[in-house]
Structure 1
Amino acid sequence: MTAPLDTTTLLPETGADTGPETHPADAARPALADETAPAELPPRKRRPKRDIDGWVLLDKPVGMTSTQAVGAVKWLFSAKKAGHAGTLDPLASGCLPIALGEATKTVPFVMEGRKVYRFTVRWGVETDTDDSEGKAVAQSEVRPAREAILAILDAFRGEIEQVPPAYSALKINGERAYDLARDGVQVELAARTVVIHSLDLVEMPDADHAVFETECGKGTYVRSLARDMGRRLGTHGHISALRRTRVGTFPEEELVPLATLRAWSEERDDAAPMHVLRPVSIGLDTLPCLRVSPADATRLAHGQPIILRGRDAPILEGPVAITAGGRLIALGEAEAGEIYPKRIFHAGK
């Protein structure tokens, strides 16, 4: 959250831009045997559920679905409630923020943050899933030179039109596109406008592969980006490796591998590794923060709006995080000098 505003002392506004929306990375693809590999699932041991509130910044391993990762973390912490902020394919590794308890109320705001990916494109082969887990549907002997790759990158920066992969979670007449594709139905998805904030060639380890880094907006499919770059270069391409290095304000260097969480839990005789739990409020770092009096906090907690009074009252519009006594108490919507409560935080994290 940004520096708080105080309705009791009428501090000036310190709101921050929440930034463009970003897409949860490439969720849907054909089911694989290793998605349910017993080695990747938490042990079948009963634990009493607890009220655990906060964020776990997980470094998801390759070969595990996002749902399995959430289940593993939820089990390790014996949490009653858990969710994640942006799906990662089993093929992908990296930043998977997992919300526990009250933190699940802030997931939509984390989803609004920009996401950064590093990915490898395999030239010469296009697959039905646009990644290495699909079947080859087109091949080419052409391998693009560095100069040719650099020459097309501007065409994929900024606002672009992009057709999502057939194997995606988008719905067609109420059914998921990947379900239709698996059943052999020809899937045709309309192009959508997405935003690519940056796209850079990082390295070319050999003629068949190129490594890129991109910061992209909501709705962007990295798999489609690889496919379309291949076609633009007069060849074909698909994702052979994908890692998400950042989600919003959650950087790669703060991620904790699942294996490390499990090891800490085992060392402490099944005690949850609470020292890695981040506060609920970090999911709201991009929102303006408003500090209110105890009386206003009580009104908001009962679902009643408050009025920002006084000549120097802050001018706020849109979502705002609200604190009282140093505790996060609510998410609200500011409109015409009033704050309307939307979500109440009972844990005060």
Structure 2
Amino acid sequence: MGRRKKGNPVHGWVILDKPIGMTSTQAVGAVRRIFDAQKAGHAGTLDPMATGILAIALGEATKTVPYAMDADKTYRFTATWGESRDSDDAEGKVTGTSDERPTVAEIEALLPRFTGTLNQVPPAYSAIKVDGERAYDLARDGQEVVLQPRPVQVFEARLLGVEKDNAEFEIRCGKGTYVRSWVRDIALALGTLGHVTELRRTRLGGWDEKTAVSLETLTPFMHSPAAFGYLRPLSTALDGIPALAVSGPDTVRIRSGNPILMRANIFAKMKDGFGDGELSGLTVFLKDEEGAPVALAEIAEGELRPFRVFNFSIV
């Protein structure tokens, strides 16, 4: 018999309003301890200086993390003009200065160039790996870090306000977008230098500030049933995936990791809303007759083939 894992089999999402000064790993650890959960992870790192939405997955919800990470994100942040920093934020060392300050009109005129698909070079202080090493580890060791540009999506960019040395922005962007790089690049295009001084994630997919809870609120409920009032269902990360109910022997087979045939009744349910040929390769969220999560499966060659099975049993 295998050794029992430390903690309890807690499953679901905690949408944390991360405080400033805490790493994402520290935040995950704090939430895991509050719930005494066996397993935890998160959907998208926030830097220590950043605040806002950090989606923390507990238990079997960790199997849905990739889908949460793929969701659009919204950030509100302050760019400070006149200085570049090696980390592209306020925590780094000054690497250059400029007396130029862009006007509102100049910023507004440039925003269309900084929306859509951008080729963005990540900050040197980032978690991207270079020859097996994290870029931020190399940068901290004083090594030159050369990162290649990557395509990212910025769907919307708005200027919220301007002071002499600062401008406040809001952007909605896709996976892999670095706000620090966006500020660095728009500053250069405006003929000045810049870095991020305040950063807040206000939305991740369907989760926003109204759905988030602070550690200050959660901590008094350490190992208490009251904490579970802030635990959101595993399925909340899968809102964009077609759901399908399975029953009887099909449920048993899927839970065992085996494929089932796409019977006529299942095919009829799935075909609605999809064109010919669109079902092949489609990911489907399978539930049992009571609505409990069963698995994520792929439609292939007339079968539903599970590739992530949810196991809620105590281990």
TM-score (norm. length: structure 2):
0.91
* Alignment pair present for 1:207 and 2:171: no
Match of 1:338 among 294, 303, 308: 303
Shift of 1:336: 3.6
Shift of 1:272: 5.5
Match of 1:105 among 53, 63, 72: 63
Match of 2:268 among 308, 312, 336: 312
Q: Secondary structure at the match of 1:314?
A: helix
Aligned partners of 1:116 and 1:167: how far apart in 2? 21
Q: Which sections of structure 2, spanning at least 5 residues, go unmatched? A: 1-5, 272-278
Q: Secondary structure at the match of 2:22?
A: coil
Q: Deviations over 1:179-227 (max 9, x none)?
A: 11111111111111111111110111x2111111111112211100000
Other-structure match for 2:287: 323
Match of 2:235 among 266, 281, 304: 281
Aligned partners of 2:178 and 2:299: how far apart in 1? 33
Other-structure match for 2:276: none
Amino acid at match of 2:176: G
Amino acid at match of 1:274: F
Amino acid at match of 1:216: C
Shift of 1:313: 5.3
Report if aligned partners of 1:121, 1:226 keep a CA contact under 8 Å in 2. yes
How much identity, in percent, do the aligned residues show?
51
Q: Secondary structure at the match of 2:268?
A: coil
Aligned partners of 1:292 and 1:171: how far apart in 2? 41
Shift of 1:102: 1.0
Report if aligned partners of 2:160, 2:169 keep a CA contact under 8 Å in 1. yes
Other-structure match for 1:290: 244
Report if aligned partners of 2:76, 2:202 keep a CA contact under 8 Å in 1. yes
Aligned partners of 2:78 and 2:20: how far apart in 1? 14
Report if aligned partners of 1:120, 1:211 keep a CA contact under 8 Å in 2. yes
* Alignment pair present for 1:130 and 2:88: yes
Amino acid at match of 1:277: L
TM-score (norm. length: structure 1):
0.82
Q: How does 1:218-257 map to 2 (within 5 A)?
A: 218-257=175-214
Q: Report runs of 4+ in structure 1 exceeding 6 Å deviation.
A: none
Q: How does 1:14-29 map to 2 (within 5 A)?
A: none
Report if aligned partners of 2:34, 2:221 keep a CA contact under 8 Å in 1. no
RMSD of Structure 2 on Structure 1 (CA): 1.5
The size of the alignment, in residue pairs, is 297
Report if aligned partners of 1:142, 1:234 keep a CA contact under 8 Å in 2. yes
Shift of 1:270: 5.2
Q: Secondary structure at the match of 1:138?
A: strand
* Alignment pair present for 1:84 and 2:42: yes
Report if aligned partners of 1:308, 1:314 keep a CA contact under 8 Å in 2. no
Amino acid at match of 2:207: F
Higher relative contact order (CA 8 A, sep 6+): 1
Report if aligned partners of 1:126, 1:236 keep a CA contact under 8 Å in 2. yes
Report if aligned partners of 2:287, 2:293 keep a CA contact under 8 Å in 1. yes
Aligned partners of 2:63 and 2:46: how far apart in 1? 20
Q: Secondary structure at the match of 2:156?
A: strand
Q: Secondary structure at the match of 2:270?
A: coil
Q: Deviations over 1:254-303 (max 9, x none)?
A: 100111101344xxx85551111111111111111011122211111121
Q: How does 1:151-170 map to 2 (within 5 A)?
A: 151-170=109-128
Other-structure match for 1:141: 99
Aligned partners of 2:34 and 2:269: how far apart in 1? 45
Report if aligned partners of 1:301, 1:329 keep a CA contact under 8 Å in 2. yes
Report if aligned partners of 1:121, 1:209 keep a CA contact under 8 Å in 2. yes
Q: Which sections of structure 1, spanning at least 5 residues, go unmatched? A: 1-47
